[in-house]
Structure 1
Amino acid sequence: MISNVSYKKVKMQLKINQPPIVCYLHHAYPLTSAMHHEDFNSWFFSNYIQLEYRCQTKEVNFFTYVICGNSVFIPILDYKILDLEFIFKSNIDIIEFIKNSIENGYYVTTYIDEFFIPERTAYKNNHFRHDIMIYGFDLNKKIFNVTGYNDRSDYATSSVDFSDFKNAYLNSINKQNDLILFKPKDNGSYNPSFTFDIENVKNLLYDYVFSQDSSHRLRAIGNPKENFTYGIEVYNELMNCYRWAIEIDKKVCDIRQPHLLYEHKKTMVDRIHFLVAKKYLKREYDFASTYTELKINALKMRNVIIKYNKVNDKSLINRSIENLQNMFEKEKKTAQDLLEAISDNVAVTSQK
């Protein structure tokens, strides 16, 4: 529990590493913290399999459970969630509160106006409400250590003066600044550990292969989602999205779509190596090489879209559509074979 204690440290930084997913910050931030839990790989490779496509906004994302605007739920983290109204009514100084939280081991995320945050594209140019994560402080320099996307589009660390941060927080657009604190669970936490869940892998992989709505598996938490496409069918949605871009002469395409595909294939490669190491998959299967090829193709497609955004050559969009079709055909068979191989191996193992 966070308390109002005097600060024993003049400067402090919590551990920070590059998370496996950075396309969206609501994944990157909690994953950065969760990586320091000993069961992180067991949890991560049990999840982050299913993809979803929000038809209304044409966004591709991993299927996860979002607990608040800028964080997904990860069971190996302890969370504290507060809202702006609570902070104001409690007469809490936001700078002192964040320093106190970090001293207690919590990473802090919230929304700010990037007009006031150095090394951001919006800095002193325009008011832009975005999320940020604070992981350290230096009382002598009067700065916070923060991470997020900088003005070079890199997910990177930087620093911000206390005064600039306070302005950014208090002037954030719409004044909707949930504060989400999280840290890796320890032995004093409720359910502090996580065991690798091969059944969840099979379920999510099945949903991915057959484009099933995985939100039906979370009915105890909330109603199933509407107007989403799931799994391998995301490829067809993206192809239609690019055809639409050509039709309306769209000048800039969202590079997050191919980048998230890249992160998905990269995660699948790492998961396959994990499954082999844990003997859930036989070494003679060569799924990793196929997914490595898919990962490379997704990265190339992202670079093609970046080029299109500069030169507006529609042949580049057509090339991306062809690439998506080829990836779709290759992954549909590979993912189904992977599901069968895992299921067969688990069945044999359980009989021993």
Structure 2
Amino acid sequence: MNAVQLPVLNPPLKGFLRWAYTLSITSAHEETIPWYYSNFIQLFCNKKFLEHGRQYYIDFFRGKPNELNFNNPFLLTCSVNYTILESLALESWPKFFADQIRNGYYCVVFLDEAKLSPAASYQKEPFPHHLFLYGFDWEASVFDASMFDNTGVYRNLQIPFQELVDAIKSMRQLLKNNLTSDHHTYFYKYEPHSPYPFDKMAAIDQLRDYLNGETHLNRINYNPDEEEAFGIKVYDYLQMYYDAVENNDTRLVDRNDVRHLHVLWEHKRMMSERIEFLVDEGIIPYDGELVEGYKEMSNRMLKLRDQYIRHEIRADKEMYKRLRLRINELREEEPVLLQKLITLLEGRHL
């Protein structure tokens, strides 16, 4: 087989690549949908980004370790570091990955993205990152890959073998010079799971955690850090972040203003789609306030994200006032809708 492509689907969540990569595999299989809607409820963020001079983030939370590390029940996962692969000659890497793909394994390769021509970081400072490979054409000497391109769009594209080799060579040098740490290369094989019906109890637990601003996920392996906020409490720190942006706080590092709003929109859209799934499957009865409430919340967040994108191109003096208004609306409206959803999932009458 000179050309192989493993099945992928446009992933439903793209805010961070750990979701985009793994969900592009599992979303291609209908049997994973109940698992998907049983999860991706909780949000978290870091709290002390100003005091410690760290990048602010807001993201979905499914416990620790993160999704690349053996955290998806439908993916058989292997991981290796550069130390293990040290004896593999550079010119042998394309065949090595092609062989894994031929055997049904998707490859998530840790490399220097600054060596890849479609990347925003191309020919700039080194940019250690993971690249998703799902196919290859041996005669054309290209891999089929998924990544954020230089316009910030997540898409499928082709990476020449030589660019991949150059990116791996650069990563080897970065590691040798102790300029970055090894985040490992992963291999995933889709393994049909035993039936996974919607897990009502898991969903209720996550919803309660969200309302209480805490987490109980994977506590056997992870003590939530004092530096992280969960659920409804993330809005306080999101507001703190945008206040710092508005005031040009010099302590802010690696700003990514739009991504935070994009993740927030993905969460509200995901909640809206989850509620529709629960109604369609007969798991909860139709409730107009709940269905329309989250749909409206999702639409508002999408509009807010798009307004911020325009604001970054041409400053809008009202933008931060609008942000405060929307974040306050979330603080007030979302707990009411979440409590209603919990009540319906528990089978109690409203």
Amino acid at match of 1:59: Y
Gaps in structure 1 of 5+ consecutive residues? 1-8
1:34 matched to 2:26? The reply is: yes
Q: CA deviation at 1:246?
A: 1.8
**Identity percentage of aligned residues:** 25
1:58 matched to 2:61? The reply is: no
Within 2, Cα distance between the matches of 1:265 and 1:305? Answer: 17
Deviating beyond 6 angstroms after TM superposition, the runs of 4 or more aligned structure 1 residues are none
8 Å Cα contact 2:38/2:203 also seen in 1: yes
State the partner residue of 2:79.
81
Counterpart of 1:180 (choices 179, 186, 203) is 186
Within 1, Cα distance between the matches of 2:88 and 2:127? Answer: 27
Q: Which secondary structure does the structure 1 equivalent of 2:104 belong to?
A: coil
Q: CA deviation at 1:18?
A: 0.9
State the partner residue of 1:6.
none
8 Å Cα contact 1:27/1:71 also seen in 2: no
1:232 matched to 2:232? The reply is: yes
Which has the higher mean CA deviation after the structures are superposed, 117-126 or 136-145?
117-126
8 Å Cα contact 1:253/1:309 also seen in 2: no
Q: Which secondary structure does the structure 1 equivalent of 2:121 belong to?
A: coil
Instruction: List per-residue Cα deviations over 1:159-184 (Å, max 9, x = no partner).
Output: 11111101111212437251111122
Amino acid at match of 1:62: F
Within 2, Cα distance between the matches of 1:158 and 1:263? Answer: 23
Q: CA deviation at 1:60?
A: 0.6
Amino acid at match of 1:133: F
Cα 1:78–1:72, aligned 2, differ >3 Å: closer, same or farther?
Answer: closer
TM-score (norm 1): 0.88
State the partner residue of 1:261.
264
Gaps in structure 2 of 5+ consecutive residues? 50-54, 175-179
Within 2, Cα distance between the matches of 1:201 and 1:68? Answer: 19
Q: CA deviation at 1:47?
A: 0.6
State the partner residue of 1:331.
334
Q: Which secondary structure does the structure 2 equivalent of 1:45 belong to?
A: helix
TM-score (norm 2): 0.88
Instruction: List per-residue Cα deviations over 1:113-138 (Å, max 9, x = no partner).
Output: 12221211122233222221001000
Amino acid at match of 1:88: E
State the partner residue of 2:177.
none
8 Å Cα contact 1:308/1:317 also seen in 2: no
Alignment of 1:137-148 (within 5 A): 137-148=136-147
State the partner residue of 1:161.
160
Amino acid at match of 1:204: Q
Instruction: List per-residue Cα deviations over 1:222-248 (Å, max 9, x = no partner).
Output: 333331111112122211221122223
1:22 matched to 2:14? The reply is: yes
RMSD (Å) for aligned C-alpha atoms: 2.3
1:247 matched to 2:242? The reply is: no
Count of matched residue positions in the alignment of Structure 1 and Structure 2: 333
Amino acid at match of 1:254: D
Amino acid at match of 1:260: V
Which has the higher mean CA deviation after the structures are superposed, 331-340 or 282-291?
282-291
State the partner residue of 1:316.
319
Within 1, Cα distance between the matches of 2:144 and 2:217? Answer: 38
Q: CA deviation at 1:69?
A: 8.5
Amino acid at match of 2:232: I
Which has the higher mean CA deviation after the structures are superposed, 20-29 or 322-331?
322-331
Q: CA deviation at 1:249?
A: 5.7
Q: CA deviation at 1:291?
A: 0.7
